[in-house]
Structure 1
Amino acid sequence: METIDLINKLTHNNFVFQKLDTTIRFFNRSDYYTVHGSDALFAAQEVFKTTSVCKMIGAEPHKTEGVILNKSHFETLVRDLLLVKQYRVEVYINLGSSKNQNWILEYKGSPGNLSHFEDILFGNNDIAVGVSVIAVKLGTEGKSRVVGLSCVDVVSTLISVIEFQDNESFSNLESLIVTLAPKECLLIQGEGSFEFQTLKQLMERSNVMVTLRKKNEFASDSIIDDLNKLVKFKKGQKQNAQSLPEVNLNLAMSATSALIKYLDLTSDEGHMNQFKLNQIEQSRYIRLDSAAMKALNIEPHTDTIPTLHGNSVASILTLLDKCRTAQGHRLIAQWVRQPLKDLSLIKERHDIVELLVNNNELRSTLSDDYLKRIPDLQQLAKKLARKKLTLQDCYKIYLCISHLPKLLEQLLLEKNVTALNTMIIEPLKELIEDMDKFQQLVEQTIDLDAAEKGDFMVNPEFADDLKTLKDAMDELEETIQKQLSKAANDLCMEAGKMIKLECNQQLGYYFRITLKEEKILRNKKHYTILDSNKAGVRFRNNKLNELNDDFLDARNKYLERQKDVIIEIVEIAAGYSETVRSIGGVLACLDVLTAFSSAAVSANKVYVRPKMVPSEEGELNLIQVRHPCLEMQQGVDYIANDIIFKRDQCHFYIITGPNMGGKSTYIRSVGVTALMAHIGSFVPCDEATISLLDCILARVGADDSQLKGLSTFMMEMIETAAILKTATCNSLVIIDELGRGTSTYEGCGIAWSIAEHLARDIKSYCLFATHFHEITKLTEEISTVKNQHVTALVEDDKLTLLYKVMPGICDQSFGLHVAKMANFPSDVIEFAKRKQAELEDYQGVAFEGSDNPQKKQKVIQEGEVLISQFLTKCKALDSSLSDTDLESQILSLKEDILSHKNPYIEALLATY
């Protein structure tokens, strides 16, 4: 059938073939690929930046757009779809003839399932992408909701499972999603309940692709058999998955079963007995929600807002990721999502970072001389396990292991640093020893001289027939080398300079001259030009043609003979996959800690080591804290500020001040610094003391999410509800401008109640930036709440933002000053002043001393106490008295209040 008919059939048939908008279909036509319909328009725009390349194909009435992609375009687009845009990809192939076409699905992939595209995506081992996919199954335990989750990472060959109770907002699950950073989530198809919709929205909000699967795929009937095939049991451990404690997590095992089927793990021999089965320990990490991830700009995202200086604000990950290895890039992305709660582990990381910060020579040697030579050992270990390794891959591992003893020598100079010895030196020493026989295997079986030249062949000494073929090749090469001088003499050119003899695997041997010299070859029939390009003209003479044909023939026989030997080599080498993966893990850790030290010393002002103390000490003191991303922006002279929190003394700042005055940057800098300290990095402060936190939670700058049916106000209420359910006295909470999107008084009421609950009941460390100045009165009720404000200077109708955080409340609003600077008409500004006075009510009342904020507040407080007493006494009057007597007594009470001569009360009476 025609391709266009196929498209219609695939699109309109039963649900198996229905195509989602996030699925792109390619048709493999051997030498090129085509895409059709809406996919063609999408591909044209992505690849060629124009839809003009689309051609209408097919017959009426089913004509549609079509685009042709060469292999390079196809691979580039697939990388972008799967790794960046998180689309699904399907590739179809024609098993019929050109007349009777029979297109079937050849292979498919999704962000969490890349197995069919590994050669395209990871052929270049410099690409560092962590890929994990999760499955979630819901259940109940009594009246409680239970979540079963399984996560599979095929690169690190890890299956992680967990079961836990959760609330109706799935806030525990959201925190786990942040920690695991999955690309895709499997859910049971057809579940239309409210909780299912909430779960689906959570995944979409966390940028996780949702894939619906049939309910029977979550059946765990065969899970024990599957795990017996996949799990690598430890020495001395019973070789049966039934004995593993994780299999008792029924919901998690159902989710695991769905993942095994979806990823088709049991069909790949390379996965057999390679996976570890672990139970996720949420208690190991600080809890982060997706709002905190976005608010603190922890990872780069596409909608980054440009700064005033034209630069986009870098993310924390971008700032810290100075890693030199692919496994290091993956690990640092994992660490920023998994801040530690273990004080000992944090201090170990800080010990190593401190060593590298202070030792410039060791830091630069590791980064520039050793780590940059390390290939992606985790990807190579995966190829080893699947027995898909090439001689080139074996050589890469060999070279890497060869460099490690020298790296170890450098580290041993600092072996007195216990953390370095425990985390890096000792494990690396043992692993290098374990690789000794692998190194011998490579030396005995691979021609290392040829490998240095980029030609990967089995050592000819390995077998007699190989030796014979190799000798023949060597003799031919000697004869070929002599042809260079003969051709040089014939063409009157200097051998080795003007004319060169070169060789590659495709063409074999050939001569090369520059494009300028090409005219020398004209009218010389015994020379054959192979091709011309910027590098020059490649050609041969008749004799070199004959010799090269003989050489390639001998070489092809050699390559054919060595195939059996390579199978044996790979079979033996596969046994080292776990060791290679472990070496990759240790080097990744060293790479990340080296990156932390490089980030610390390359900052505008060197970062310092934070003093980490137990939670019980209740301190969060940051002296001259800076925002690490903003201070790196060109043209920014960052104004640093302090935060001094001590439990039961002060743990809550209410921050007021003008827009763009630095409130948001200040509170974000505190959150970012706390996170950096807990992942083992140094921090952008002059001095830092931080008690262990259990959560970093944020409600900053919620946006409309119209595609998900959520307004700004609803988004911030969802995020704030999660904070109130999650926060403890050891949590850091940052809230910015809460209460927008509803009426002013309602917003103020909500913001006040939330602030009071956090300050009085939960007692979290909290930075609460607000435009509701009324909330500053909370300091009168709760002693641990303090007012802070960002300062600004008004001179000659010019507003200068000083970005300095000072004690107390902001004493004025700057809106009218900004309006003047924007050249509002004077009558509009005068009317605004009058309206402001009316709306501010008693706050706008002027009296003696009201120009001094502290004195004004004190006078108003005294006046409100007197008014309250007056009202209480009025309520206590005998209601049976006559109107005349009541009026007389009320006047007496009024005279009593007026005798206090409170300026605020006098001004109120004069106004009304």
Structure 2
Amino acid sequence: MSYTPMIHQYLDIKAQYPDAFLFFRLGDFYELFFDDAVKASKELEIALTSRNGGKDEYIPMCGVPYHAVKQYIKVLIDKGYRIAICEQMEDPKLAKGMVKREVIQMITPGTIMEDESLEPKKNNYLAALSSFDDGSYGYAMSDLTTGETKVTMISAWDGVIEELDANDVREIVLDPAFDQNRKEWLTERLNVTLSEDANDIVPEHLKAIVSGIDQEKLLRPLGRLLNYLVITQKRSLDHLQQADVYHINEYMMIDPHSRRNLELTQTNRDKKTYGSLLWLLDDVKTAMGGRRLKQWIEKPLLSEKKIEDRLNAVSALKTHMLERETLRGSLNEVYDLERLVGRVSFGNVNPREVLQLKRSLDQVPDIKKTLAEISDEALKTYGDEMDPCEAVRSLIAQAIVDDPPFSTADGGIIRKGYDETLDRYRDASKNGKRWIAELEAKERQETGIKSLKIGYNRVFGYYIEVSRPNLKLLPEGRYERRQTLSNAERFITPELKEKEQVILEAEEKRVGLEYQLFSDVRMKIKEFAARLQKLARLVSGLDVLQSFASVSDKNGYVRPTFSEDRTLAIENSRHPVIEKVMKDGAFVSNNVHMDKTCDMLLITGPNMGGKSTYMRQAALTAIMAQIGCFVSADQAVLPIFDQIFTRIGAADDLVSGQSTFMVEMDEARYALTHATQNSLILLDEIGRGTSTYDGIAIAQAIVEYIHQHISAKTFFSTHYHELTFLEDKLPRLKNVHVGAMEEKGNVVFLHKVLSGQADKSYGIHVAKLAGLPGDLIDRADEILEGLEKEKGKQVPSDQVAVIREEAAAEEHPVSRPHDEKPEQLDLFGSPEPSRIAKISRREQKVIHELGKLDLMTMTPMDAMNQLFTLQKELKK
């Protein structure tokens, strides 16, 4: 195809970036062509036009103004796209032939540097993976905005998912040969952008980042990550910090399901921070403190010494209220040091941001002084290690004006007295403008034209403007016409032309020199990057500790202690978030007591009684304690948990074709196969997604398995009251229940957890509270009363299905004396003959067909169809 030279140039560059939108600079616009234009016009909701590409063939085109490009880039990045920025590399006025163009940067979800696309209190991680034959994975990640770089080994795929989810990774760099099924899983389930780079050799000029690391399994993902950054960013990466090797077993493991169930960083309902643990504990004063807080919540500590160091610091800050408030005042004046250093090193910092760096450094001496007044060893360490970087602060103070512009294009950045040459240019420019003002007054007097004025624009330079009615007053011969307007004429005189050259030359040199001086200042600051980054880490950690102290003080939290015998004892435990959002302050506290003789609480009671809240608050108390925060209770003694597993709530997974019950079983499987004796397990209503007998059987089997094979501290809530007999069978299990009482036909929830088992489920009462029609509620009461009379005993409402199933036996009805108790299932023995005798031939056939179903490969709809068919067979 014969295209114009410019379109050929575009196509040649586009061929190097086939999976990115190519923003092709043409004058004041970035243009997109062909398929990029068609797709971008839809995603950005801008007009799709066309242009002649050669030989009268029109090609699709759309574009955005260069000065507004950031907002369009943000839209595309948020949708997971990549953008290649192609700039003009020479002045079109001076270029011979086609203007040289090349891609100066790739912008991707994991490498974005512009504030418009970043959340201040959230890291923006790019990750890289390398897989090995033994099933392990090398995992590296970096936040380009801060330079933070980390690497670790992960033994299994589940651990990879946990890390990616915990760090909220936006983009992953993989080997092109990476397992295709894993790629699809990542794309569909984690909603991340996948990129590829086959080169996993660490670039020679970035060897310092991997200093001290000699393990190949760690170097390969780091090499892949660094090569991808070199290729995409095409500029200095000197701000990348030395890679921190961490071990995932140094932190409490919280799987993605549990993290969401406990609402650690966002709520399940609206995916907002409000209502989460992060929201509750966020009283930080800096953006980098906000990011550090999120990191600590996502990775609670396992080292008791490190936890106690944090608690000591929080205790000291909580006690020294006046000093804490002074410290908070200083921190409030500190800007985002981490990202400022990143922008300085990256070369896209503006003058006002440089001044923000100086103002932040101004606070360091006061912070060190305040910490010295608090007698705590951990806080003293923070203060001693803080480097004020006085040379940087002094440099900025000397070089940058107090109120600089955002842009470096027009000057006005450098302080008077910093550079002698610049001061001379400024004087020439200033004197020249004074001369212009004097010339304007002189011309008005000599011509008698009071409206005469001298102006300037970039195209024509300086000019004398005279309105048309006054043209006759101008003397002949001295005024040379420069421009004609609709109602005026513009002129130049030899005197003005001569002075114009002097003024413009001084102005041009002034602006150019100012930009050079600013660049020099930036380069000098860059030399201090490592020291500034260390300072930022200390300040952000201190900010989180003062936040813990402030929140603990305001809410009456207490310091937790840790047991060596796995005792879990919390007096007047409260759910910290619910307690905070309840405006009337009426949250009912509860005690939790599980000593070395008790590993499991079997919790019964009505819906809405508070079972799930009771379980969650225990987990949140453990997490708060292990991140170094005080807890919402009157007293708390806890073991240090290595993992937390939760199975709470009902949700299906339609994307992968999993029903609610299958999701429930999958989450239970994960907990049972990963938990240890030192873990905390929360299981809520296990087995409710299937038939009653199946549900009871599965629930009992899980309880017994945990008790006999894992011995983890476990909260197991259920409506299957039949399971309460397990207290007599399993020595380390205790029954507790959520209190409720009937009053004039209505249920009153006490929200108090008491010893023993619940007497009933109050299901119909809850249905009444939900607002179901009165006639329906009355009919349900009649049905329940009839069923209870039929069986001769009180029956919990959620067991009506069991009775109905037995009453509907068609061929071998078996009666039971009214005073005979239901048979307990011997889950690890043989089926009882009396149970088998009740099953008819047709039922046996249905059971046989049911046994052949491969539920793992069925979609929810397929399963529903099969169950409907089997149910029809039973009803014949």
TM-score (norm 1): 0.70
- Residue type of the alignment partner of 2:624: M
**Is the CA contact 1:625–1:669 (under 8 Å) kept in the aligned structure 2?**
yes
SS at match of 2:208: coil
1:75 Cα deviation after fit:
2.7
**Is the CA contact 1:739–1:748 (under 8 Å) kept in the aligned structure 2?**
yes
Structure 1 segment 653-692 matched on structure 2, within 5 A: 653-692=601-640
Counterpart check, 1:410 vs 2:405? no
CA distance in 1, matches of 2:700, 2:354: 64
CA distance in 1, matches of 2:651, 2:99: 49
Structure 1 counterpart of 2:843: none
Q: How many pairs does the alignment contain?
A: 746
SS at match of 2:512: helix
1:324-343, Cα deviation, whole Å (9 max, x unpaired): 22211211111111101111
Counterpart check, 1:458 vs 2:441? no
Structure 1 segment 729-878 matched on structure 2, within 5 A: 729-819=677-767, 822=772, 823-825=774-776, 828-829=779-780, 832-833=783-784, 836-837=787-788, 844=795
**Is the CA contact 1:56–1:63 (under 8 Å) kept in the aligned structure 2?**
no
1:789-839, Cα deviation, whole Å (9 max, x unpaired): 222332233233232222222211212334556313477325521564389
Counterpart check, 1:152 vs 2:100? no
- Residue type of the alignment partner of 1:326: A
Structure 1 segment 299-698 matched on structure 2, within 5 A: 299-300=265-266, 304=269, 314-367=275-328, 369-386=329-346, 389=349, 391-414=351-374, 416-422=375-381, 424-428=382-386, 431-432=387-388, 435-447=389-401, 457-472=413-428, 554=506, 556-602=508-554, 606-614=555-563, 616-633=564-581, 635=583, 637-698=585-646
How has the CA–CA distance of structure 1 residues 200 and 255 changed in structure 2, closer, same or farther, with 3 Å as cutoff? farther
Counterpart check, 1:246 vs 2:246? no
1:343-388, Cα deviation, whole Å (9 max, x unpaired): 1221222222223333333333322x32122122112222333455
Structure 1 counterpart of 2:111: 113
- Residue type of the alignment partner of 1:469: Y
CA distance in 2, matches of 1:734, 1:866: 25
Structure 1 segment 45-444 matched on structure 2, within 5 A: 74-79=69-74, 81-82=76-77, 86-89=80-83, 108-114=106-112, 118-119=113-114, 121=116, 127-141=120-134, 145-166=135-156, 170-189=157-176, 197=181, 200-201=184-185, 204-205=188-189, 207=190, 209-211=192-194, 213=196, 217-218=198-199, 220=200, 222-223=201-202, 226=203, 228-232=204-208, 246-248=213-215, 250-264=216-230, 268=234, 270-272=236-238, 274-300=240-266, 304=269, 314-367=275-328, 369-386=329-346, 389=349, 391-414=351-374, 416-422=375-381, 424-428=382-386, 431-432=387-388, 435-444=389-398
- Residue type of the alignment partner of 2:342: K
Structure 2 counterpart of 1:700: 648
- Residue type of the alignment partner of 1:127: P
Moved more, 370-379 or 395-404: 395-404
Moved more, 818-827 or 668-677: 818-827
CA distance in 1, matches of 2:109, 2:406: 37
How has the CA–CA distance of structure 1 residues 449 and 47 changed in structure 2, closer, same or farther, with 3 Å as cutoff? closer
1:407 Cα deviation after fit:
2.5
1:706 Cα deviation after fit:
1.3
CA distance in 1, matches of 2:767, 2:283: 45
- Residue type of the alignment partner of 1:591: D
SS at match of 1:696: strand
- Residue type of the alignment partner of 2:396: V
1:427-482, Cα deviation, whole Å (9 max, x unpaired): 11xx12xx233334334444569799998533443443333334456768999999
- Residue type of the alignment partner of 2:325: S
1:632 Cα deviation after fit:
2.6
How has the CA–CA distance of structure 1 residues 55 and 558 changed in structure 2, closer, same or farther, with 3 Å as cutoff? closer
- Which runs of 5 or more structure 2 residues have no equivalent in the other structure? 93-97, 440-457, 459-468, 472-491, 798-816, 834-876
1:864 Cα deviation after fit:
8.3
**Is the CA contact 1:232–1:274 (under 8 Å) kept in the aligned structure 2?**
no
Structure 1 counterpart of 2:482: none
SS at match of 1:618: coil
CA distance in 2, matches of 1:335, 1:290: 16
Moved more, 633-642 or 836-845: 836-845
**Is the CA contact 1:460–1:470 (under 8 Å) kept in the aligned structure 2?**
no
CA distance in 1, matches of 2:586, 2:404: 56
How has the CA–CA distance of structure 1 residues 347 and 200 changed in structure 2, closer, same or farther, with 3 Å as cutoff? farther
SS at match of 1:381: helix
CA distance in 1, matches of 2:711, 2:325: 45
1:548 Cα deviation after fit:
13
- Residue type of the alignment partner of 2:757: I
TM-score (norm 2): 0.73
1:191 Cα deviation after fit:
5.2
1:664 Cα deviation after fit:
1.5
1:209 Cα deviation after fit:
1.0
SS at match of 2:244: strand
**Is the CA contact 1:2–1:101 (under 8 Å) kept in the aligned structure 2?**
no
1:412 Cα deviation after fit:
1.8
Cα RMSD (Å) of the superposition? Answer: 5.1
SS at match of 2:228: helix
**Is the CA contact 1:286–1:341 (under 8 Å) kept in the aligned structure 2?**
yes
CA distance in 2, matches of 1:735, 1:187: 36
1:749 Cα deviation after fit:
1.6
**Is the CA contact 1:612–1:692 (under 8 Å) kept in the aligned structure 2?**
no
CA distance in 1, matches of 2:661, 2:22: 39
- Which runs of 5 or more structure 1 residues have no equivalent in the other structure? 234-240, 484-505, 507-522, 526-541, 847-858, 876-912
SS at match of 1:150: strand
**Is the CA contact 1:313–1:633 (under 8 Å) kept in the aligned structure 2?**
no
How has the CA–CA distance of structure 1 residues 688 and 78 changed in structure 2, closer, same or farther, with 3 Å as cutoff? farther
- Residue type of the alignment partner of 2:214: V
1:841 Cα deviation after fit:
8.7
| % identical aligned pairs | 23
- Residue type of the alignment partner of 2:298: R
1:738 Cα deviation after fit:
1.7
- Residue type of the alignment partner of 1:421: K
1:558-617, Cα deviation, whole Å (9 max, x unpaired): 232334434443333321111111111111111111222232344xxx242332325x23
**Is the CA contact 2:600–2:714 (under 8 Å) kept in the aligned structure 1?**
yes
